[in-house]
Amino acid sequence: MTTEAVAENAPAKINLCLHVTGRRLDGYHLLDSLVVFADVADRVFVTPAHGLSLVVAGPEGAGLQAEADNLVLRAARLFGVSDAALVLDKRLPIASGIGGGSADAAATLRALQRLTGLPMPPMSDILRLGADVPVCLDGRPSRMTGIGEKVTQLPALPRLACVLVNPRLPVPTPQVFAALTSRENPPLADLPHSALASAESFAAWLAAHTRNDLIPPAREVAPILADVQAALEATPDCLLARMTGSGGTHFGLFATDHAAEAAAAFLKAAHPFWWIETGRILD
């Protein structure tokens, strides 16, 4: 066990597409999704200590409390750690569809493994933290199926930049799923090798052959999301604009950092109160 502080990034999760293909008897929805991660991230710090504690800091930490059900503390307890001081530097908006809580839990598990040298808990236990935690724990471009427990790494994707936009309106996932009218939808088609030739070809394939089944119910919960979509689509050189997860964050894909930065500047001028960040899609 190391006595030094350990830090782990908790990158934003982006569902490039999200097909809802069914629902189990226990109420969990079956999903089929292509998931990538951006270098826009929360950060988790862990230091050996007497007792277990959590401090929530950062520009997006105001809406969170270090309560017993916080996912960072739940992840620490799942790992069996009782003597650690945890700090969550919160930079991703809460309830925003980019896996902030799940990414934080996954980062906590990785940090505690580095701190203690102990093995990861069983995946069946990790899944109880949230359906997105397994894919966030892996942290690579993946296809996620089942209720989130089946994670298959994707082949190398073309280089992509992104803009993430959230209108500062939390969109609770349970409300979105409650408004979903069709729970039995076709799964994803296999990703063809030809789609990986360039950022443009990949975005075109996503637009033509994939979807996010949660967009209609999310817009029913929060109609402003249609405006976010339209604003991103209107930016120059945007290859694809779409809502990620259950909302309300939307992503725009761009071929270059310069194009993404120009789009973000345009959006910030038009919508100064929205949360807008640029980043790169991680390998």
Q: Where are the domains of the chain?
A: 6-153, 161-280
Residues 170-187, mean pLDDT to the nearest whole number: 93
Task: Determine the pLDDT at residue 69.
Answer: 84
Task: Determine the pLDDT at residue 38.
Answer: 98
Task: Determine the pLDDT at residue 3.
Answer: 66
* Nearest one of 6, 18, 77, 102 to 45, comparing CA atoms: 6
Given a cut of 90, is residue 118 above it in pLDDT?
Answer: yes
* Under 8 Å between Cβ of 14 and 166: no
* Nearest one of 198, 169, 176, 161 to 277, comparing CA atoms: 161
- Please report, rounded to a whole number, the percentage of residues in the chain having pLDDT higher than 70: 99
- Rounded CA gap, 44 and 12, in Å? 13
Residues 78-100, mean pLDDT to the nearest whole number: 92
* Under 8 Å between Cβ of 219 and 132: no
- Rounded CA gap, 175 and 102, in Å? 18
* Under 8 Å between Cβ of 271 and 231: yes
Average of per-residue pLDDT values in the chain: 95
Residues 113-141, mean pLDDT to the nearest whole number: 94
Q: In this predicted model, which residue has the larger pLDDT, 247 or 207?
A: 207
Task: Determine the pLDDT at residue 1.
Answer: 59
Q: Which CATH number fits domain 161-280: 3.30.2420.10, 3.60.15.10, 3.30.70.890, 1.20.120.1730?
A: 3.30.70.890
Task: Determine the pLDDT at residue 68.
Answer: 76
Q: In this predicted model, which residue has the larger pLDDT, 28 or 250?
A: 250
Three-state DSSP state, 124:
helix
Residues 193-200, mean pLDDT to the nearest whole number: 98
Given a cut of 70, is residue 107 above it in pLDDT?
Answer: yes
Q: In this predicted model, which residue has the larger pLDDT, 124 or 99?
A: 124
Given a cut of 90, is residue 100 above it in pLDDT?
Answer: no
**Catalytic residue positions, numbered:** 13, 132
**Domain 6-153: which CATH class?**
alpha beta
Given a cut of 80, is residue 273 above it in pLDDT?
Answer: yes
Residues 112-119, mean pLDDT to the nearest whole number: 94
6-153 and 161-280 agree in CATH topology: no
